[in-house]
Structure 1
Amino acid sequence: MGDRLTQLQEAVDQLGDQFISAFYYNEKHHDLEKLGPNDKIQDLKGDQSTIAIRPVPVEPFPADVFSAGQLELARDLIIKEQQIEYLISTLPGLDNSERDQDQLIKDLEEELKVAEAQRLEAIKEKDEVLLKLDQVLRGIRRN
């Protein structure tokens, strides 16, 4: 489960990075077009001391290139979101009730007890075999 959670965290981080990249792309490569009659396009080449935050200089792309870039960024965001949904759906416990999870834990505890008993039996057998081997080796030395 830890591996799934790590994958999920990485995918969410990547989605955040993709959002930032998409915003930056739109901010940097849009065309300098007025959206309303009262809009003004700022001349940022003048006095920069009056601007608290320096905006990213705009390097407009042709409309078809800009739209293609936006489409690609949107597809990447959708694919990443689908990957996140898939990872979430594979996490344990989403389709199980609390009772089912408790039963699963009990079953696993029983399996662990059986495996521990087998391990202890194997250690006992190993010790017996080593003791017999030691006796055989001592018998060979005497002869």
Structure 2
Amino acid sequence: MARPTSPFALTPSDLIALQGWLRMSTLEQSLAQRARILLLLADGLTPKAVSEQLQITPPTVFKWRKRYREAGIEGLSDLPRSGQPLKLGPEKINEILTLTTRRVPQEATHWSVRLMAKYARVTTWQVRQVWA
């Protein structure tokens, strides 16, 4: 026998915000789907009915319902993903471009990838990426 669904309610300000999200033409589809999930749950639909109507899996409905309950509307955005962070910030990119266009190396008549990497203290791959 299935457990009864727990009641779900949105705060009035969150209800207005989520409805506003769905009217936006530039909203990411993932956020739009999450807003639809919560609005349908708030209308009294069961998680199973929501998953059937939106053609998504029930665990997806449970995931976003739980995230909303724990963190509110801010919890609907994606969490940071694992992986290697960007190594070059805007200031390092600017430094490489400034060296390239405004200075001449002492050892040569023009910049090579290896020479720029040495001066900027980055890898040759990173210099190639900036120059591309």
| Higher helix content, 1 or 2 | 1
Q: TM-score of the superposition, structure 2-length normalised?
A: 0.27
- Point out the structure with max Rg over C-alpha: 1
Q: TM-score of the superposition, structure 1-length normalised?
A: 0.26
Q: Which has the higher contact order (CA 8 A, sep 6+)?
A: 1
